[in-house]
A = this chain, B = another copy of it.
Amino acid sequence: MNEWTMIEAINHALAFQLRENPNTIILGEDVGVNGGVFRATEGLQQKFGEQRVIDTPLAESTIIGMSIGMASQGLIPIPEIQFMGFIYPAIDQILGHAARLRNRTRGRLSCPMVIRAPFGGGIHAPEHHSESTEAIFAHIPGLRVVIPSSPARAYGLLIAAIQDPDPVIFLEPKRIYRDGKQAIEDNGEALPLDTCFTLREGIDLTLVTWGAMVKETLQAAEQLAAKGIDAEVIDVATIKPLDIDTIIDSVNKTGRCIIVHEAAKTCGVGAEIAALLAEKNITSLLAPIQRVSGYDTVMPMFQNEHFYMPSTERIINAATKSMEYR
């Protein structure tokens, strides 16, 4: 067993797959010699060579576009986008081609690839380095969107994503890259790509979240427990396709649901979860579904980013309000 941080777990999952399958290729800006600006690919070029871990020119559209071409010919590209804020030049390729190649050719060609990108706020970075726009990708038919929230889930979900035959957007909550270690066996064991993780069982209230916000949400659950409120905490993890059944089962039990995410509120993934509950689960709801989320503003520059990101306190307030509702 190894004690790894999330970034180390990611590094080892990548190494495992590079070892396992010679068709696996990592490419992106600064992923080679430098090992990635967060060191996710540290040491991999030395180990696997310049043809397997490639420093590309600065061109996101073509990094993804060429990955599509590679994937179509039997390779498994793992492009890194340095920060999620720089994925937008590649959306055309992701939405227009990666997500469509299988369907467009009725299965003749396909696009197994994993696009990795660090995302989210809280590290005092410059503008465009702190946003969360997973909802954009969740809206696009044909993609998978996966977000780990712990070293072990990062390892198992990344392995699963690389082994999956379809394109996966793998978003890494960089705020918790180095936030504690977990014991992980480096055995290439994949976690399922279609199941939420219930991190805490409870009967009074369901807190649904993902990514770095799992931290504040678990903290909130602890503090709520001290007040006698027993919250269930669900880490969605596989944002798309979404495992709504686990969430529905929980809300059937608790009757109350709060969704927590860093992204802007309007048309965020929280909206989809709330809408599915309002569609499938309305009778079991004892209180309004609240979203504790980023505001519909630009993520402020770092002086004020803490105002934007949901705090433990905001979650607790929402939970209290929910419990008081009748």
Contacts and interface: CB of A to CB of B under 8 A. Distances in A.
Contacts of A309: none
A133 interface: yes
A-B CB proximity, top 9 nearest: A274-B275, A88-B92, A139-B267, A271-B275, A278-B278, A271-B271, A278-B289, A271-B272, A282-B288
Interface string A283-326: 00101111100011110000000000000000000000000000
Contacts of A278: 274-275, 277-278, 282, 285, 288-289
A139 B100 CA distance: 22
B266 A242 contact: yes
Query: Of A142, A269, A275, A290, which is in contact with the most chain B CB atoms at under 10 Å from its CB?
Result: A275
13 contacts: A85-B96, A88-B92, A91-B91, A139-B263, A141-B266, A241-B296, A270-B275, A274-B275, A274-B279, A275-B291, A278-B278, A278-B282, A279-B289
Given A88-B95, A141-B264, A264-B141, A279 B291 contact: yes
A127 interface: yes
Given A264-B139, A271-B272, A282 B287 contact: yes
Contact of A135 (B267, B287, B291): B267
A307 B95 CA distance: 21
Contacts of A295: 141
Interface string A105-144: 0000000000000000000000110000101101111100
A141 B297 contact: yes
